[in-house]
């Protein structure tokens, strides 16, 4: 009976003409080394779509293999053949830079569930581009702010030698008031950090900040824990996420990291999300899953008000961001990037599972540093 | 039934002409985009086929030239789109969005790089040659990753495709036309080359370098010339590839790409005129259709490639014509 | 920069080098005896690491995990040799490159199919964790010292195997003249399978040992594979001694380059720029080394034939 009512409601809405069939294109990484992140975004996104009960939304999902040229090709396919209204899904900044500018210029809306490269927040911002995760610098800035609060005066900072790595160190330095005991750019994809750890040991640093996404972070944390150096470590959530924490193990225990989301953030939406995600997929949700979930809910909230074919109305509906976010308060700044609170959290062990516990706020209602450059 | 190779070649060209036209009529623009990708990869592989097929030099670093071509396009178009001057020391330029100029620059720069890499690499042979070309490719890859001025690992986005006089290059079919015409030109060049005294001598150096020397030819110079020509063609393909994606990034320099170019040639048939073209079409089709079936499509791709090597010596053309070697 | 730090960095370079040697030794043996270029060697490294992680997770024993890594990699190697590689010995290098490239695809995605997309956990055993103090007050992780020890022991063992045993005589004979040893009644195909499995086991061992301090994930073998190729090309393909020298050279160049090049650039650049330029050049360093060696000696340091 319930099912019937829902179906009736949907058909009633359709009959009024407020809603037509909506097509969403998701390009994300589903094969190869970085597939875990894409799978989480997809699962979070699809969970929200399923929970909405709407059957007038078609999601086309494609695997970019983490290759920019494949992503561009898929984006052409989404726009030319599938004729999607909205695109989403890309995990990596370099892929986003390859796809987003061209897509939004072809009047497609793009909702970023993960990457937030600075050009898209600043000079290259676009009215059809919305970032539902963070601007790339945000979590690093929060790490800098947390380090001030923790009383660190002299940090040793490191990141891979590529644009997101440079942004990370810039972000940390933007908020960190202390001195730098060392600043190192490592090789992208590096797996052995013995040389860097030796430098940390030899330095007079009182803390270490690092941004090493994926396998790089796992390697560094294990080697750092084994080195016996006692200097505290801070980093963005990417190296302490649910997906990879189990692979780091004890080495991550007690490490403080910054995140805009955690599974213990106290609101009804989040509690329901964590529970239903676990029930559906049999694992704890990650940061990326929460971002996928929020992205879908933002989209759903806008679809309730307007149809993408009415671009101006739909854009306004997106900008209002009237949805219940898993992270609590959420709104867009003038450049369509989030204004949100970023938390410090600590890695703990719950039974056999490594996970995070929120310690407190690192940056309250934080916007990004590039909004002023955006002329929209 | 055994087919004549010329018959297959003709069929292939006809297919490359007819299929996009069908896609245009059937309003399937993405099919055209896919075919453009295949044609450009084929162009790069035809370049590689000169050294690999005729000259027998297995270069595992041709991605270097592909990438240089791509960056030549990226850098010129980037300066043109941002209206910033490109300072080359002796003179400055505003960059350009004019395709023929970009192609010329791409071919010259990748040709220059090929002459440098070739001069050093051709001292070695066999496995050492495979590995030293790989090493040069990796050098360019790491250089591009840390080249912050042009986006480093993020790469460079070019918002609008470059211009060709009289055409609207943003229309998939028109851009395809440009790429297809260039492929035909290069294929004609390859055919001429294969039959020319230079091509014959190059072929002879592959089989017996000492004999070539005793006739009074310098095998080193022959090989170097072939290597430069090959690099320039692959560079041209790189510029087109960048234009297709409106994007360049260090992945154009990756060793996997060098490997893929070799794969294309072997699928089709080493040293055959249309080998790379058939290889590229099959590869792009596999990539596309297997990906639709399963997330784990790499496994199937691997199995198919393996079968081609183990059971289809001489590639698909060899299979169809019943002749294993390209050189009768 | 203090001398303690320099010594520590040299130890790091050594440790990296001996681990590379484990990879390179198998690769170079396989080339020397069978004349085969095996791009899938990195996949065997990955198989070792995954087998170790799975067994360590189930039993909690690191020793069992190492045994599992050796066994799994050797088994995978033997199967691959008998099903695929065997048909490629007479094929041109080109076919070998392509076939083993295909094997990488199958191994990588197959592993992801079985173990999922997230990295696995493998940790250092408690007995070997934490740092020890060396003479001169250098604090150095015990596990890394152990790795250096294991690597050197394997090098000595390999030397003894090749120079002092009957199998070694056959391997050397196989390198020199295949037809002859077949004519002498040695079962050549069994010998080939054995050599391939031995090389695979060494790669698997390296994967498991290194996996304990790194991330056990799909694709972990490929960067190491490229480095191992650089090593054997520098050393001379087919030469185990060359692989040893080459591995140490590459290990030291990579580690010390990453540390000292940025320091060097700091002399005439500001800090951030020096870091970026220095580390960019350092990542190219080993390829420059390889280029230089090949220009000087086109068949590597100890290589006999091309």
CATH at residue C193: 1.10.3470
C216 in any annotated domain? yes
As a whole number, mean pLDDT of residues A246-266 equals 92
Burial class (CB in 10 A: 0-12, 13-18, 19+), A12: exposed
Rounded CA-CA distance B127/B129 in Å is 5
Phi and psi at C303, nearest 5°, equal -85, 145
Look at A203-207, B205-209, C70-74 and tell me which has the smallest mean pLDDT. Answer: B205-209
Structural domains counted in chain C: 1
Structure tokens that stand for C298 in this block: 């086109």
| pLDDT value, residue A6 | 41
Of the residues C231, C237, C298, C304, the best mutation for testing chain B's interface (the one with the most B CB atoms within 10 Å of its CB) is C298
Concatenating the DSSP letter of every residue in C123-134 gives: ---GGG-SEEEE
| pLDDT value, residue C303 | 77
Pairing mode, strands A109-112 and A86-88 = parallel
| pLDDT value, residue A1 | 37
Quickly name the fold that domain A2-134+265-332 has. Rossmann fold (3.40.50)
Look at A13-17, C150-154, C302-306 and tell me which has the smallest mean pLDDT. Answer: A13-17
Chain A residues with CB under 8 Å of C133 CB are none
Residue A21 has pLDDT above 90, yes or no: no
Look at A227-236, B23-32, C18-27 and tell me which has the smallest mean pLDDT. Answer: B23-32
- Say whether residue C110 is in contact with chain B using an 8 A CB cutoff: yes
A81 vs B30, B145, B159: nearest CB: B30
- Gap from C143 CA to chain B (nearest CA, Å): 31
As a whole number, mean pLDDT of residues B82-106 equals 86
B58 vs C31, C94, C112: nearest CB: C94
Nearest chain B residue (CA) to A79: B30
| pLDDT value, residue C67 | 96
Q: Which of the pair, A342 or B158, is modelled with greater confidence?
A: A342
Question: Are B30 and A80 in contact (CB < 8 Å)?
Answer: yes
Residue B287 has pLDDT above 50, yes or no: yes
- Say whether residue C273 is in contact with chain B using an 8 A CB cutoff: no
Question: Are A101 and B154 in contact (CB < 8 Å)?
Answer: no
Chain A residues with CB under 8 Å of C117 CB are 35-36, 39
Structural domain of C160: 15-123+138-296
Look at A14-28, A38-52, B93-107, B270-284 and tell me which has the smallest mean pLDDT. Answer: A14-28
Structure tokens that stand for C240 in this block: 């185990």
- Say whether residue A39 is in contact with chain C using an 8 A CB cutoff: yes
Helix spans in chain B (H): 5-25, 29-49, 63-82, 99-121, 126-145, 172-195, 197-207, 209-214, 219-245, 255-268, 275-293, 297-311, 315-321
- Say whether residue A170 is in contact with chain B using an 8 A CB cutoff: no
Going from N- to C-terminal start, the domains of chain B cover 44-275
Per residue in C138-167, pLDDT tens?
889 999 999 999 999 999 999 999 888 888
Residue B327 has pLDDT above 70, yes or no: no
| pLDDT value, residue A5 | 40
As a whole number, mean pLDDT of residues B284-300 equals 82
| pLDDT value, residue C1 | 59
Q: Which of the pair, A109 or A94, is modelled with greater confidence?
A: A109
pLDDT grade for B36, boundaries at 50, 70 and 90: very high
- Say whether residue A187 is in contact with chain C using an 8 A CB cutoff: yes
**Of residues A165, A215, A164, B124, the one with CA closest to residue C224:** A215
Residue A3 has pLDDT above 80, yes or no: no
Residue A186 has pLDDT above 70, yes or no: yes
Structure tokens that stand for A1 in this block: 């009976």
Concatenating the DSSP letter of every residue in A264-324 gives: T--SHHHHHHHHHHHHHHSS---HHHHHHHHHHHHHHHHHHH--TTSHHHHHHHHHHT-S-
Chain A residues with CB under 8 Å of B247 CB are 68-69, 72, 97-98
Question: Are B130 and C93 in contact (CB < 8 Å)?
Answer: yes
C302 in any annotated domain? no
| pLDDT value, residue C37 | 87
Phi and psi at C238, nearest 5°, equal 100, -15
What proportions of chain A, in percent to the nearest 5, are helix, strand and coil?
45, 20, 30
Chain A residues with CB under 8 Å of C272 CB are 183
| pLDDT value, residue A33 | 66
| pLDDT value, residue B324 | 65
Decide if A2-134+265-332 and A138-259+342-373 have a common fold.
yes
Nearest chain A residue (CA) to B250: A68
Residue C275 has pLDDT above 60, yes or no: yes
Helix axis angle for C41-59 and C3-34, nearest 10°, is 110
- Say whether residue A162 is in contact with chain C using an 8 A CB cutoff: no
Chain B residues with CB under 8 Å of C291 CB are 120, 132, 135-136, 139
Question: Are B128 and C306 in contact (CB < 8 Å)?
Answer: yes
Partners of chain A (3+ Cβ pairs below 8 A): B, C
- Say whether residue C116 is in contact with chain B using an 8 A CB cutoff: no
**Of residues B17, B29, B81, B50, the one with CA closest to residue B273:** B50
CA distances from A170 to A159, A179, A237, A239, A362 (A): 10, 14, 17, 18, 17
Per residue in C55-78, pLDDT tens?
999 998 999 999 999 999 999 999
Structure tokens that stand for C3 in this block: 């001398």
C99 in any annotated domain? yes
Nearest chain A residue (CA) to B36: A73
Residue A18 has pLDDT above 70, yes or no: no
Q: Which of the pair, C78 or B215, is modelled with greater confidence?
A: C78
| pLDDT value, residue C51 | 96
Per residue in A22-81, pLDDT tens?
999 999 998 776 788 899 999 999 999 999 999 899 999 998 888 888 899 899 889 988
- Say whether residue C153 is in contact with chain B using an 8 A CB cutoff: no
Nearest chain C residue (CA) to B313: C95
C240 in any annotated domain? yes
As a whole number, mean pLDDT of residues A205-225 equals 91
Of the residues C108, C290, C301, the best mutation for testing chain B's interface (the one with the most B CB atoms within 10 Å of its CB) is C290
- Say whether residue A275 is in contact with chain C using an 8 A CB cutoff: no
Going from N- to C-terminal start, the domains of chain A cover 2-134+265-332, 138-259+342-373
Partners of chain B (3+ Cβ pairs below 8 A): A, C
Residue A357 has pLDDT above 90, yes or no: yes
C211 in any annotated domain? yes
ipTM attached to this prediction = 0.82
Chain B residues with CB under 8 Å of A67 CB are 251
**Of residues A327, A319, A334, A336, the one with CA closest to residue A364:** A327
Chain C residues with CB under 8 Å of A215 CB are 119, 214-215, 217, 220
- Gap from A340 CA to chain C (nearest CA, Å): 29
Nearest chain A residue (CA) to C104: A32
| pLDDT value, residue A67 | 85
As a whole number, mean pLDDT of residues A257-281 equals 95
Residue C272 has pLDDT above 90, yes or no: no
| pLDDT value, residue A14 | 42
Chain A residues with CB under 8 Å of C9 CB are 195, 198
Counting residues of chain C whose pLDDT is more than 70, the rounded percentage is 99
Residue A82 has pLDDT above 90, yes or no: no
As a whole number, mean pLDDT of residues B213-228 equals 89
In degrees to the nearest 10, what's the CA dihedral of A27, A33, A37, A42? 40
Look at A14-28, A46-60, B14-28, B300-314 and tell me which has the smallest mean pLDDT. Answer: A14-28
| pLDDT value, residue B325 | 60
As a whole number, mean pLDDT of residues B279-283 equals 93
pLDDT, mean over chain B: 89
In degrees to the nearest 10, what's the CA dihedral of B22, B26, B27, B28? -70
Candidates 1.20.1260.10, 3.40.50.300, 3.40.50.2300, 3.40.50.720; CATH matching A138-259+342-373: 3.40.50.2300
Residue C97 has pLDDT above 60, yes or no: yes
Q: Determine contact, residues B169/B239, Cβ cutoff 8 Å.
A: no
A26: number of Cβ within 10 Å: 28
Burial class (CB in 10 A: 0-12, 13-18, 19+), B311: exposed
Phi and psi at B66, nearest 5°, equal -60, -45
In degrees to the nearest 10, what's the CA dihedral of C232, C233, C237, C243? -30
| pLDDT value, residue A343 | 95
Question: Are C275 and A185 in contact (CB < 8 Å)?
Answer: yes
A201 vs C109, C139, C276: nearest CB: C139
């Amino acid at each position: 009976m319930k099912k019937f009512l829902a179906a009736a409601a949907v058909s009633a809405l359709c009959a009024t003409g407020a809603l037509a069939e909506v097509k969403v294109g998701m390009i994300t990484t589903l094969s190869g080394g970085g597939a875990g992140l894409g799978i989480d975004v997809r699962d979070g996104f699809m969970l929200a779509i399923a929970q909405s009960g709407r059957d007038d939304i078609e999601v086309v999902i494609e695997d970019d293999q983490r290759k920019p040229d494949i992503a561009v090709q898929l984006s052409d396919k989404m726009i030319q053949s599938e004729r999607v209204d909205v695109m989403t899904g890309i995990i990596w900044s370099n892929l986003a830079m390859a796809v987003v500018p061209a897509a939004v210029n072809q009047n497609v809306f793009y909702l970023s569930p993960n990457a937030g490269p600075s050009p898209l927040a600043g000079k290259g911002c676009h009215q059809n581009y919305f970032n539902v995760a963070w601007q790339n610098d945000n979590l690093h800035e929060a790490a800098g702010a947390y380090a001030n609060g923790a009383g660190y005066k002299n940090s040793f900072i490191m990141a891979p030698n590529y644009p997101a790595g440079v942004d990370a160190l810039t972000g940390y330095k933007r908020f960190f008031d202390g001195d730098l005991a060392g600043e190192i750019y490592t090789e992208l994809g590096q797996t052995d950090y013995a040389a860097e750890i030796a430098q940390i040991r030899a330095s007079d640093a009182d803390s270490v900040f690092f941004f090493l996404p994926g396998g790089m972070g796992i390697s560094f944390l294990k080697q750092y824990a084994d080195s016996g150096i006692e200097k505290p470590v801070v980093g963005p959530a990417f190296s302490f996420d649910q997906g990879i924490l189990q692979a780091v193990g004890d080495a991550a225990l007690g490490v403080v990291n910054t995140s805009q989301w955690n599974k213990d953030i106290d609101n009804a939406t989040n509690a329901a999300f964590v529970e239903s995600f676990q029930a559906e997929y049999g694992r704890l949700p990650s940061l990326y899953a929460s971002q996928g979930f929020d992205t879908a809910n933002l989209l759903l909230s806008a679809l309730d008000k307007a149809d993408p074919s009415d671009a101006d109305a739909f854009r306004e509906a997106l900008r209002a961001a009237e949805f219940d976010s898993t992270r609590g308060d959420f709104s867009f700044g003038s450049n369509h990037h989030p204004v949100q609170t970023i938390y410090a959290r600590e890695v703990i062990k719950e039974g056999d599972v490594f996970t995070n516990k929120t310690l407190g706020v690192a940056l309250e209602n934080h916007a990004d540093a590039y909004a002023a450059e955006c002329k929209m | 039934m055994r087919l004549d190779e010329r018959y297959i070649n003709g069929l292939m060209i006809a297919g490359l002409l007819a299929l996009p036209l069908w896609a245009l009529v059937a309003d399937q623009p993405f099919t055209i985009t896919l075919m453009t990708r295949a044609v450009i990869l084929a162009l790069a592989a035809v370049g590689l086929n000169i050294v690999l097929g005729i000259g027998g030099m297995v270069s595992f670093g041709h991605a270097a030239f592909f990438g240089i071509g791509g960056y030549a396009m990226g850098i010129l178009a980037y300066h043109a789109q941002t209206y910033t001057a490109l300072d080359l020391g002796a003179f400055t330029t505003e960059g350009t969005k004019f395709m023929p100029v970009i192609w010329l620059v791409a071919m010259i720069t990748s040709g220059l790089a090929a002459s440098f890499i070739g001069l050093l690499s051709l001292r070695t042979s066999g496995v050492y040659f495979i590995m030293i070309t790989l090493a040069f490719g990796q050098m360019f890859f790491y250089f591009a990753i840390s080249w912050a001025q042009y986006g480093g690992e993020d790469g460079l986005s070019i918002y609008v495709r470059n211009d060709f006089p009289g055409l609207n290059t943003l229309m998939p079919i028109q851009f395809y036309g440009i790429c297809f015409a260039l492929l035909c030109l290069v294929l004609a060049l390859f055919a001429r080359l294969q039959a020319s005294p230079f091509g014959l001598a190059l072929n002879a150096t592959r089989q017996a370098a000492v004999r070539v020397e005793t006739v009074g030819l310098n095998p080193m110079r022959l090989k170097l010339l072939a290597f430069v020509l090959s690099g320039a063609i692959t560079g041209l393909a790189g510029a087109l590839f960048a234009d297709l994606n409106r994007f360049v990034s260090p992945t154009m320099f990756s060793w996997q790409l060098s490997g893929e170019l070799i794969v294309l040639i072997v699928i089709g048939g080493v040293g055959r005129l249309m080998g790379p073209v058939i290889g590229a079409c099959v590869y792009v089709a596999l990539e596309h259709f297997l990906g639709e079936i399963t997330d784990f499509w790499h496994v199937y791709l691997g199995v198919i490639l393996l079968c081609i090597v183990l059971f289809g010596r001489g590639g698909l053309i060899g299979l169809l014509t019943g002749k294993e070697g390209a050189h009768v | 920069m203090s001398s303690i730090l320099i010594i520590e960095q040299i130890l790091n370079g050594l440790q990296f080098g001996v681990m590379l040697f484990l990879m390179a030794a198998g690769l170079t043996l396989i080339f020397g005896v069978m004349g085969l270029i095996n791009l899938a060697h990195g996949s065997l490294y990955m198989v070792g690491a995954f087998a170790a992680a799975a067994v360590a997770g189930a039993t909690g024993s690191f020793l069992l995990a190492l045994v599992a890594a050796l066994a799994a990699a050797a088994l995978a190697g033997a199967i691959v040799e008998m099903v695929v590689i065997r048909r490629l010995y007479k094929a041109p290098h080109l076919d070998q490159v392509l076939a083993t490239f295909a094997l990488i695809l199958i191994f990588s995605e197959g592993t992801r199919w079985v173990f999922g997309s997230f990295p696995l956990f493998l940790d250092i055993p408690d007995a070997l964790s934490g740092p020890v103090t060396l003479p001169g007050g250098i604090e150095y992780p015990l596990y890394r010292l152990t790795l250096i020890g294991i690597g050197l022991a394997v090098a000595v063992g390999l030397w003894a195997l090749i120079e002092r045993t009957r199998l070694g005589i056959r391997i050397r004979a196989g390198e020199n003249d295949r037809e002859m040893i077949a004519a002498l009644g040695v079962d050549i195909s069994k010998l080939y399978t054995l050599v391939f499995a031995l090389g695979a086991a060494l790669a698997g061992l390296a994967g498991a040992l290194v996996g304990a301090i790194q991330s056990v994930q799909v694709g972990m073998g490929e960067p190491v594979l490229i480095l191992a190729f650089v090593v054997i090309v520098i050393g001379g393909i087919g030469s185990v001694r060359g692989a040893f020298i080459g591995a140490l050279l590459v290990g030291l160049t990579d580690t010390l380059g990453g540390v000292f090049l940025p320091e060097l650039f700091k002399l005439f650049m500001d800090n951030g720029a020096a870091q970026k330029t220095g580390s960019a050049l350092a990542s190219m360093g080993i390829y420059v080394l390889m280029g230089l060696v090949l220009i000087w000696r086109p068949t590597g340091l100890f290589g006999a034939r091309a």
